[in-house]
């Protein structure tokens, strides 16, 4: 009996010793599922349903963000420049070198500097985004949101939706005009 308890203890210790580092490494390098709170990304995330806000869970793909190759219209997770304890989920509106006509920033037009991007929530009136804190360093982006994984009725791949309101001009295009 004592021998079987010792064997069970060794088995559990060995399993935990293996499982914990593998799980932590997976979350740090590959990705994780997170709850999206708030209304700043409506209607893409947390759409209103039956008079109350539905809550989405998304897969954050850290692996895809590791090379820092981003596109306009991608939804990303980033550390808030104004509150480092807070993580945000926003859409990339402009990349380095672009000119952006801002919605409420202190400057009407911003040139996005090298190594930065401009992020906004889809629900502009209820979003703490670049219109509040300005261009965001690409180093603050930790992951790309790739899929809605919960609730099952909303399972889908998140698509890249570039801004259609003509507020963003690539610098090369702007200079040619």
Active-site annotation, residues: 40, 90
Residue 60's beta-bridge partner residues?
Answer: 32, 145
Q: Collapsing DSSP states into helix, strand and coil, what is residue 19? A: helix
Q: Do the beta carbons of residue 40 and residue 123 sit within 8 Å?
A: yes
* Residue 2 host element (H or E): helix 2-29
DSSP string, 35-46: EE-SSTTTTTSS
Q: Collapsing DSSP states into helix, strand and coil, what is residue 147? A: strand
């Amino acid at each position: 009996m004592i021998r079987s308890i010792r064997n069970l203890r060794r088995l559990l210790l060995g399993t935990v010793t293996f499982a914990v580092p593998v799980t932590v490494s997976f979350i740090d390098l590959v990705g994780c599922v997170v709850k999206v709170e708030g209304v700043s990304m409506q209607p893409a995330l947390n759409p209103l349903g039956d008079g109350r806000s539905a809550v989405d869970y998304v897969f954050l793909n850290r692996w895809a963000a590791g090379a820092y190759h981003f596109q306009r219209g991608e939804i990303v997770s980033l550390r808030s420049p104004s509150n480092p304890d807070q993580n945000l989920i926003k859409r990339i509106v402009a990349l380095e070198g672009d000119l952006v006509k801002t919605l409420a920033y202190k400057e009407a037009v911003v040139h996005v500097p090298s190594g930065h991007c401009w992020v906004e929530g889809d629900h502009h009136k209820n979003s703490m985004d670049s219109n509040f804190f300005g261009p965001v360093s690409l180093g603050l982006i930790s992951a790309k949101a790739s899929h809605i994984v919960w609730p099952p009725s909303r399972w889908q791949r998140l698509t890249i939706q570039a801004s259609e309101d003509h507020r963003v001009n690539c610098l090369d295009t702007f200079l040619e005009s």
